[in-house]
Amino acid sequence: MRLSNKVALITGAGSGIGREAALLFAKEGAKVVVVDINSVAGQETVSLIKAAGGEAAFTANDVSKAAEARAMIEFAEKIFGKLNVLFNNAGIFPDADGSVLETDEEVWDLVMNVNLKGVFFGCKFGIPALLRAGGGSIINTASFVALMGAATSQIAYTASKGGVLAMTREMAVEFARQNIRLNAICPGPVETPLLAQLLSDPARRQRRMVHIPMGRLARATEVAQAALFLASDESAYVNGATFTVDGGITAAYVTPE
């Protein structure tokens, strides 16, 4: 198994990409720390892992708060003795996040606190734990909008994911010789409950679809597979990478109708 003897912590693991990654990592032998602000969803992920014969534990934490981010790392080390893989995946995309002309400061701050500061805190407290374990892999969820403009306005989300990408690169350079790798996944639009709600309007959904060469949204399992590769020793020489899982969006100039 690809993650045997590894302990992995995944934020936002109560649903979507985070849950699929938790299930996949456990299947591949990792002991998984499931982190989510939603206790019911997080506990459900743990139950699914255990039902499949895996090992997991849940902790409810808000990644945007320093004390809680520190607590989730301490929980991982206390329960499983170490931390080898950190997947900073938790993120939000409020409906009120739109054009720079319309987005309120409160929305901006909320998105930055979760999407950008949450990754900062995860790394701030997670890297020392990985160092104690002799090194490891950190995967941060960015987005294809960190690389190009979005088809629909989402100024705070786009800025936050651009920050995640830049921050990942800097830390990848800083800790490379201490046996810690940091990489960023840049998914295209993913078929998750969050995006399903945002794209419930057929016209808004079609505006997204026309820009995707493959003509469909990504499946959360497809992004989780990319995270698994980056978590495993198979990617031992992959560091500071922008790992696009976007169906060709960032490669396209003219997209077929």
- Of 228, 222, 229, the residue nearest 246 (C-alpha): 222
User: CA distances (Å), 86 to each of 25, 195, 202, in order?
Assistant: 11, 24, 36
CA–CA distance, 111 with 181 (Å, rounded to integer): 26
**Is residue 42 within 8 Å of 14, Cβ to Cβ?**
yes
Please work out, in degrees rounded to the nearest 5, the angle formed at the alpha carbon of residue 194 by the alpha carbons of 189 and 195.
35
Q: Is 253 known to be catalytic?
A: no
Contacts of 75 (CB under 8 A, 6+ apart): 33, 57, 59
Of 157, 180, 218, 220, which residue is the catalytic one?
A: 157
Active-site residue set: 157
